[in-house]
Structure formats: structure tokens, C-alpha cells
Amino acid sequence: MRTFLYTSLTDHLKKLTDTEGNQLIKHIDLWNEQVEFIEQETPFATPAIFIELMPFNWQTLGGNAQRCSPTIRFHIIQQYKGSEADGSIFRTDAMERFTVLDAIDNHMKGFEAMTEDQKKTITMWQRSSSSTNHNHEELIEDITDYTCTLFDSF
């Protein structure tokens, strides 16, 4: 199920484009504290999304079917472009940060996926929380949590 979830998310995120039709998200990977260890990390382009799969608590439905409703956390990394202060010469560029976050949220609304054999499904995708980073340097890490329902028949 993790493989199906992760590849479905990355495939969907790659379809998100900017106003010029270019892929908006430049790097997608699993979360591994990349921002904490930036000096040791392989360089990556921004905006980037690192996907954190929070614990899955499975419920057996009968037979070989299980269901869970996990939280999937997106760590959205962008370059700091200057002050957002009213009157700042950097404000327009700096506010692009929120435009990207809104674009991701809008793109993820209603996300669903199913394997061809219908044994694995992702449904009920919803944003559940957002955290805006107010303590950053060159890179900004904003976090958005989503919940969904996963069905797995194996």
C-alpha cells in the first residue's frame, strides 16, 4: 500500500503546473529531516515537497480487506525571497510562497486513486491542518497535513 500511495501522490503532484504550464513542484521525495541536515543533503530544486507517511492504524474489515485513515504530511520547501512587509520591494516575490501553497491545496482537493484490480484505493482526501513557518533562513518549510481513507485487499 505504501508504494501505491507514494507513487500515486508523486504522479498527481507532477501534474500541478504554474501559470506558464511548467511543472510547479521541482522535487518530490520521502521526508527524512532534509531541512535539519541541509549541509549533508543532496541539493534539490524548490519548490519541493517531501512526503511524510504518519503511522497507519489498520482496521480489519473481514477476509483480506483492511482500512485506515492516516495523516499524510507534506513538508513544502521554498526559497526565502525577502520580506512580505507592506511596502517591501520584495513583497510580490515573497508572497509567491502563499500562491504555491494555495495551488498545492487546490490541486489536492478530491484526490483519489485506485489500482486497476481495485484492490487498493485512496479516497476521502482532505486537508486537516496547515502550519506556516515563521522561523526560517534561506529555506522555508511550511507543513500541510491531509487525511484520507485507504482500503487494502491483498
Query: What pTM does this model have?
Result: 0.90
Tell me the C-alpha distance between 55 and 62, whole Å: 21
Adjacent-strand bridge partners of 79: 139
User: What pLDDT shows up at residue 92?
Assistant: 64
Neighbouring CB atoms inside 10 A of 29's CB total 16
Question: Are residues 58 and 133 in contact, defined by beta-carbon separation less than 8 angstroms?
Answer: no
User: What pLDDT shows up at residue 63?
Assistant: 84
Q: What is the pLDDT along the chain (154 residues), one digit of tens a residue?
A: 999 999 999 999 999 999 999 999 999 999 987 666 665 567 889 999 999 999 999 999 988 899 999 999 999 999 887 656 566 665 666 678 899 999 999 999 999 999 999 999 999 999 999 998 877 778 899 999 999 999 999 8
User: What pLDDT shows up at residue 66?
Assistant: 96
Question: Are residues 34 and 47 in contact, defined by beta-carbon separation less than 8 angstroms?
Answer: no
